[in-house]
Amino acid sequence: MTATLIWILVVLVAVGLYLSWTAGRLDRLHARIDAARAALDAQLLRRASVAQELATSGVLDPAASMVLYEATHAARQAEEELREVAESELSQALRAVFADPPQVDALREAPGGEETAHEL
C-alpha cells in the first residue's frame, strides 16, 4: 500500500513538473508573439507615415496621390483585426504608384526622394 502511494505521488509530481514546464513555454511563446505583433504594427505605421508624406508632397500626380493617401489613412486607422488587410491594400497602392516609371523618376529626383523610395 505504501509503495502504491509513493508511485502515485511520483506520477503526480512528474505530471505537475511537466505542466509547469509547458505553461512556462506557452508564456514565453505568448510574449514573443506579442513582441512580434508590436514590431509589425510599428513597421506598418512607419511605412504608412512615409507613404502619407509622399502622397502629400506634391511629387506624384493627383490621382496617384489620392490613391496612396487613402491607403495610408486606412492603414493608420485600421483596427487590430484589420491590420493585415490594410497592409495588403497599402502594398497594392504602392505597387500601383511605383509601376509608373515617370513617377518613380520624379520621386527620385525630388530632395530626399532616393531615401524615401528606398525606405518604401
pLDDT at 32: 97
Q: What is the total count of domains within the chain?
A: 1
How far apart are alpha carbons 93 and 83 in whole angstroms? 15
Q: Is residue 26 domain-resident?
A: no
Query: Tens digits of per-residue pLDDT, 41-93?
Result: 888 888 888 888 888 888 888 888 898 899 999 888 888 888 888 889 988 98
Q: Is residue 18 domain-resident?
A: no
The CA-to-CA distance between both ends of the chain, in Å, stands at 72
Domain encompassing residue 90: 37-119
Q: Is residue 23 domain-resident?
A: no
H/E element holding 76?
helix 62-77
Q: Is residue 102 domain-resident?
A: yes
How far apart are alpha carbons 120 and 108 in whole angstroms? 12
Q: Is residue 86 domain-resident?
A: yes
Flag whether the pTM goes above 0.85: no
How far apart are alpha carbons 48 and 69 in whole angstroms? 9
Query: Tens digits of per-residue pLDDT, 5-26?
Result: 999 999 999 999 999 999 999 9
